Amino acid sequence: MDMVSDTGMKAESYPCRMVTSEEVAHYHEFGWVQLKSFIDPAMISTLLAKAKGIMGEDGDSNPSYGIDQPYFNAQAAAGLADPAVRPLIEKIGRNAKALMARKADIGVRYYSDFFAPKLPSAKKTKNMGNGPTSFHQDYITFAVDRSGGMTFWIPLEAYGPEAGTMSFLNKSHRLGVLGNYTSYGGHDIRDVFPELRDCEESPQINYALGDITVHSHLTVHGAGKNLLDRPRWAYLVLPQPADAVWNGAPPEAFDPTGMKAYQPFSDERFPILAK
């Protein structure tokens, strides 16, 4: 189910626009939303050039990031330190606060940003990341003590299902925490949690240039193989509620050295994007 919005990109919205009330409602109802014409194409071109500069044209020339899984080949982006990209991350923070829609005035904190090309399935690759993305939930891998986090999934070219775009299990975010994807013993999450069979699966998303999707870290999602002869480039930004803390579990998204469990994240390392 695609969320359709005719909101066009305006000069004053650079590098991205703000979400509409209809999009916020869709996110809360289904656990995800497609934001059409969300990011200025010039910003997307900037991001794609940076990704290729780090990872190569093949999306496979970076060192392994240490987690072997078929979903994508990840590379830290460090966008906060980049004056060309930081304005986008900051405005994403404002959009994340609108989507969280907390009744209390809770802000949004930066958590991570990274490039995530899904490599072509028909090619032998140096790094992992050229397979399908099994249906899974993100929440448990991020080692935070509360829900509310989300992923802004930004394709860096126009893509359809042949590129291995995502689909979502509608309303699955209402079922709570469903474990780590590595604990299913190779089984489909819908077999491990049969109640997910009652959640309608959305079609794989078609993204025009500038379209993105946002999904809650409690929303179950997956993707097919990339059948193209080139990478399916994506850039991900992950905001969390400003009051979230590290729960002490081993995180996949940051190095906890020097941190203490159940203490606030450092504002310097994980800055507040929206108050």
* Model confidence pLDDT, tens digit, residues 28-50: 999 999 999 999 999 999 999 99
Q: List helix spans (H) across the chain.
A: 21-30, 41-55, 86-100, 189-192
Most distant CA pair in the chain, distance:
50
pLDDT at 10: 55
Mean of all residue pLDDT scores within the chain: 94
Per-residue pLDDT at 73 exceeds 50: yes
Binning pLDDT at 50, 70 and 90, where does residue 253 land? confident
* Model confidence pLDDT, tens digit, residues 93-121: 999 999 999 988 899 999 999 999 999 99
pLDDT at 100: 97
DSSP 118: B
Contact 178, 219 (CB under 8 A): no
Distance of CA 138 to the CA centre of its chain: 9
Among residues 13, 8, 77, 70, the alpha carbon closest in space to that of 48 is found at 77
Binning pLDDT at 50, 70 and 90, where does residue 5 land? very low
pLDDT at 1: 42
* Residue type at 246 in one-letter notation: W
Token output for 175:
């079922």
Domains of the chain, each with CATH number or no CATH:
11-253 (2.60.120.620)
* Residue type at 150 in one-letter notation: M
Per-residue pLDDT at 7 exceeds 60: no
Token output for 249:
């579990």
- pTM comes to 0.94
pLDDT at 105: 87
pLDDT at 65: 86
